[in-house]
Amino acid sequence: DAGVIQSPRHEVTEMGQEVTLRCKPISGHNSLFWYRQTMMRGLELLIYFNNNVPIDDSGMPEDRFSAKMPNASFSTLKIQPSEPRDSAVYFCASRRDRGSNQPQHFGDGTRLSIL
Amino acid sequence: EDKVVQSPLSLVVHEGDTVTLNCSYEVTNFRSLLWYKQEKKAPTFLFMLTSSGIEKKSGRLSSILDKKELSSILNITATQTGDSAIYLCAVELLNAGNMLTFGGGTRLMVKP
C-alpha cells in the first residue's frame, strides 16, 4: 500500500520566494493534516481538512501561509513570501474517519530551508 | 491550554536494557493517546490507547494508559540499536476533528 506521499523531499530557497509543498494522502482517507516540526517547538498542527474542507486553521502562523485541498487526493501548503524562520520539516498526515480508532499516518516530510 | 509532556527528554542505554518512557497530559475532552516512533523520516504509529489499565503489546514494546493519573508509559524490553529514535506521545481530543496534540518527544539512543 502506498503511504502518504509528499514532495519535494528537500527544498532550499532564498527568503522572499514562494514555496509550495505537496501532499497525496492515502487513498480512502478523508482527513488530511499539515504539521510543522522544529527543534524548539516540536510537532505543531498547522491546519486540517475533512472531506476536502478546511476545518481548523488556527495553527497557521501567519497570512503568509495558505493551504488548499482541491480534491481528495491532493493538498498543497504554500508560503509566500518565505522567511528564514519558516525553516522546518513539514509533515502531511492522513486518516480514515470511518470506523473507530484509526490513527493518523504520516508522510516522510519536506525539509525546508529558507536562506 | 491542552498540554502533553514527555519525560525524560533523552535517554542513553545499552543493548539489552529495559526502558520506560513517560507521557502525561492535561487536556479537555480526552479521546485517546497515541505513541509514535520517529527515526529519520515520518513518525510511524505504534499504539493507540483509549481504555485505562489495558496493556497493548507489540513484540518487545508495550504501553498502558492510566486515566486517573492522566499518563501513559511506553516500555521497551531487551533494547536493540534499531530502537534508537524519538518516541512521540500525542493526545487525540473528542469533538476536535481527531486533532492530535503532541508532546516534545523522548530521544532514545541504544548503544551496542
- Helix, coil or strand: residue A86: helix
Residues A33/A34/A36/A42 CA torsion (nearest 10 deg): -10
Confidence of residue B2 (pLDDT cuts 50, 70, 90): confident
The better pLDDT of the pair B79, A58 is held by B79
pLDDT of residue A99: 58
pLDDT of residue A100: 63
Residues from chain B that touch A104, judged by Cβ atoms under 8 A, are 34, 45, 98, 100
Residue A1 CB: number of other CB atoms within 10 A? 6
Confidence of residue A101 (pLDDT cuts 50, 70, 90): confident
pLDDT of residue B41: 86
Query: Is B42 in contact with A31 (Cβ distance < 8 A)?
Result: no
How far apart (Å, rounded) are the C-alpha atoms in residues B64 and B51?
Answer: 9
**Residue B42 is nearest to which of A48, A50, A107, comparing CB atoms?**
A107
Q: In the predicted model, is pLDDT for residue B10 greater than 80?
A: yes
Q: Which residue of B has its CA nearest to A97?
A: B98
Of A31-35, A59-63, A100-104, B63-67, the range with the lowest mean pLDDT is A100-104
Q: What's the gap in Å between the CA of A16 and the closest CA on chain B? A: 27
Mean pLDDT of chain B: 94
Phi, psi of A57 (to 5 degrees): -115, 25
Please check whether residue B32 touches A, CB under 8 A. yes
A-B contacts (CB, under 8 Å): 50
Query: Is B41 in contact with A97 (Cβ distance < 8 A)?
Result: no
